[in-house]
């Protein structure tokens, strides 16, 4: 509980719940992949660290008829805690209710279960939290059923208006995809905001819960060193990269309807861009930060076909694993003639005073040569280099994963008798600087924020609409087949043309430097 109080004091911007509050956390879609791999393990970690309120109760809800033991057996292989006592103590807080997603019966049962737990707890201060780990096709029916059966006292319907059930506060997390384009996203938002108010809706983008993404605010606004250089006078180019060394095999059906732009770029990478580019918020309150993110998005023009390079991976006959010999279209879930991009590189321009003329490059790909997510801020050339042209551009790199770090590529004097310039770095590698740290998983952090009622790291309705405004014209053209992706081999650096595209956009690649921590 002490840990919780500490976090409340530091992280949450409004009073949360006191020790006697009754918290019931329901995971809808409890038998699915996300629940078993991420949500239950995150809840268990919070439980083990004693951050969850000790009386917090968890309910799994899904269509299958399951026992709690069966639910535990599915999820336990993904738990960090290996101690059997911790696991069994955690699962003793979990119950399970089965029911459909579009009819009232299951939700009435769910409500009875929540009421039973609340009565046993006895407190009048009740928090009903719902995590929708569900496909978008059932978002609206589930939200509607939740609202009518678990959120509002249905018996009050006869009064002609809904009133809040008991003295409770309810919140809901929804998962992406939030629509396919601006119109479908707006429809979804309208349907959800007709049921819940903005303070109750938490749209999760798990990249916002990653340590180094959270770090961006403090790096930028807590260090005077950076304030005066964070602009177009000093910065030549910003590159935000996401690479994964595995393909979409087994997930091809889902992936093919979305593609890499919808899967990663429009959400995870754009959220990072906002945090890199936004102006200083008035405070760290959720509304101040999200106001600034919306403002910077409004300065970005919609993307067109010339602003992107696209790729699709093909099997690599020299690949070391069986998977790598298979191309994207070898997946039985993917149509043989699919033109869906598994790699994309895009250039965005932010037309405001701070950034006009600075290209923001976002690149992301599946089945590439490595796992890496990073933000690279490349500074302008040193004017009149008096060191024989050996000084390369400074770069500030925020390594999101793996091996979380902040390092700055620098020119220094070569050690010894020479007076030549050499590339090196100022290096802050987290696991070296902060020994024995156990960085929480992004889901763990965001679930805690959700429990605490902190909305900062969740996507607001207007922010989402702006994000779709930027991508929708491009996506519609891609959906209509206006640009075909170029093949790249599984396990490669992606599409070669993207290097030229990035260079032509203003990024200088010298090829002479390798980050020391990566050489090891
Ligand atoms: C998800 C995408 O949102 O993020 C996946 O749908 C992707 O395609 C994943 O693999 C990456 O997340 P992480 O945390 O493993 O970098």
Tell which wins on pLDDT, 363 or 15.
363
**Which is it for strands 421-429 and 201-204: parallel, antiparallel or unpaired?**
unpaired
Q: Which atom of ligand 1 is nearest the CA belonging to 373?
A: 16
Residue that wins the pLDDT comparison between 515 and 248: 248
Confidence of residue 10 (pLDDT cuts 50, 70, 90): very low
Quick one: which atom of ligand 1 is closest to the CA of 267?
A: 3
**Token output for 48:** 């083990």
Question: Is ligand 1 within 6 A of the CB of residue 244?
Answer: yes
Catalytic residue among 206, 268, 431, 476: 268
pLDDT given at position 154:
42
How much distance in Å is there from the Cα of 243 to the middle of ligand 1? 10
Asked if residue 33 lies in contact with residue 77, where contact means CB atoms within 8 angstroms, the answer is no
Which amino acid residue places its CA nearest to atom 7 of ligand 1? Answer: 264
Query: What's the pLDDT score for residue 5?
Result: 53
Q: How far apart are CA 480 and CA 342, in angstroms?
A: 17
How is domain 218-382+439-505 classified at the CATH fold level?
A: Dihydrodipicolinate Reductase; domain 2 (3.30.360)
Mean pLDDT of all residues in 343-349: 98
Any ligand 1 atom below 6 A from CB of 256: no
Annotated catalytic residue 268:
yes
- Residue 441 Cβ inside 6 Å of ligand 1? The answer reads no
- Is residue 423 in contact with ligand 1, taking CB distance under 6 Å? no
* Cα–Cα distance list, 439 to 173, 220, 435, 445, 458 (Å): 22, 21, 11, 10, 20
Q: What is the mean pLDDT of residues 292-319?
A: 97
Whether the per-residue pLDDT at 15 is higher than 80: the answer is: no
The fold adopted by the segment(s) 2-175 is: Rossmann fold (3.40.50)
Ligand 1 and 463: CB distance under 6 A: no
Please indicate whether residue 263, judged by its CB atom, sits closer than 6 Å to ligand 1: yes
Instruction: In the chain, list all ranges with CATH 3.30.360.10.
Output: 218-382+439-505
Give the mean model confidence (pLDDT) for residues 11-23: 61
pLDDT computed for residue 4 by the predictor: 52
pLDDT in tens, 446-471: 999 999 999 999 999 999 999 999 99
> Which pLDDT belongs to residue 18?
65
Atom of ligand 1 nearest to the CA of 176: 3
With a cut of 90, say whether residue 169 has pLDDT above it: no
Q: Is the pLDDT of residue 26 over 60?
A: yes
CATH 3.40.50.720 domain position(s) in the chain: 2-175
- How many A from CA of 62 to the centre of ligand 1? 23
Mean pLDDT (the chain) is 91
Mean pLDDT of all residues in 93-99: 97
Helix (H) or strand (E) holding 376: strand 372-379
> Is the pLDDT confidence value at 162 over 50?
no
pTM of the model: 0.94
């Amino acid at each position: 509980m002490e840990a919780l109080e500490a976090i409340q004091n530091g992280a949450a911007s409004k009073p949360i719940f006191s020790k006697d509050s009754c918290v019931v956390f329901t995971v809808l879609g409890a038998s699915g992949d996300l629940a078993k791999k991420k949500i239950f393990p995150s809840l268990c970690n919070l439980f083990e660290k004693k951050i969850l309120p000790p009386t917090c109760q968890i309910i799994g809800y899904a269509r299958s008829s399951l026992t709690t033991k069966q639910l535990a057996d599915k999820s336990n292989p993904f738990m960090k805690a290996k101690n059997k006592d911790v696991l069994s103590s955690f699962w003793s807080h979990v119950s399970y209710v089965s029911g459909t997603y579009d009819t009232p019966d299951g939700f009435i049962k769910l409500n009875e279960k929540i009421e039973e737990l609340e009565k046993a707890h006895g407190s009048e201060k009740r928090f009903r939290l719902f995590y929708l780990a569900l496909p978008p096709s059932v978002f609206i029916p589930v939200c509607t059923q939740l609202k009518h059966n678990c959120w509002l006292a249905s018996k009050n319907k006869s009064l002609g208006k809904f009133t809040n059930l008991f003295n409770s506060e309810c919140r809901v997390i929804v998962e992406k995809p939030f629509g396919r384009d601006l119109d479908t996203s707006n429809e979804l938002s309208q349907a959800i905001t007709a049921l819940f108010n903005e303070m109750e809706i938490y749209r999760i983008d798990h990249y916002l819960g990653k340590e180094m993404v959270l770090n961006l605010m403090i790096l930028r606004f807590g260090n005077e060193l950076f304030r005066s250089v964070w602009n177009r006078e000093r910065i030549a180019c910003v590159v935000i990269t996401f690479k994964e060394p595995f393909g979409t095999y087994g997930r091809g059906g889902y992936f093919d309807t979305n593609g890499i732009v919808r899967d990663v770029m429009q959400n995870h990478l754009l959220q990072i861009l906002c945090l890199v580019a936004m102006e200083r918020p008035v405070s760290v309150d959720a509304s101040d930060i999200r106001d600034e993110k919306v403002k910077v998005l409004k300065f970005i023009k919609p993307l067109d076909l010339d602003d992107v390079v696209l790729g699709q991976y093909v099997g690599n006959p020299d690949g070391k694993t069986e998977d790598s010999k298979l191309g994207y279209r070898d997946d039985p879930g993917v149509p043989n003639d699919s033109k869906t991009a598994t790699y994309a590189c895009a250039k965005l321009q932010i037309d405001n005073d701070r950034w006009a003329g600075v290209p923001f490059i976002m690149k992301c790909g599946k089945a590439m040569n490595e796992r890496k997510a990073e933000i690279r801020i490349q500074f302008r050339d040193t004017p009149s280099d008096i060191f024989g042209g050996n000084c390369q551009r400074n770069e500030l790199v925020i390594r999101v994963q793996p091996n979380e770090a902040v390092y700055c590529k620098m020119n220094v004097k070569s050690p010894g008798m020479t007076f030549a310039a050499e590339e090196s770095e100022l290096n802050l590698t987290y696991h070296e600087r902060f020994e024995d740290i156990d960085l929480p998983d992004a889901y763990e952090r965001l679930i805690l924020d959700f429990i605490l009622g902190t909305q900062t790291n969740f996507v607001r309705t207007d922010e989402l609409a702006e994000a779709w405004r930027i991508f929708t014209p491009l996506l519609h053209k891609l959906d209509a087949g206006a640009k075909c992706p170029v093949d790249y081999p599984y396990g490669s650096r992606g599409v070669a043309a993207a290097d030229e595209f990035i260079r032509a956009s203003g990024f200088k690649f010298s090829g002479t430097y390798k980050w020391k921590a990566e050489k090891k």
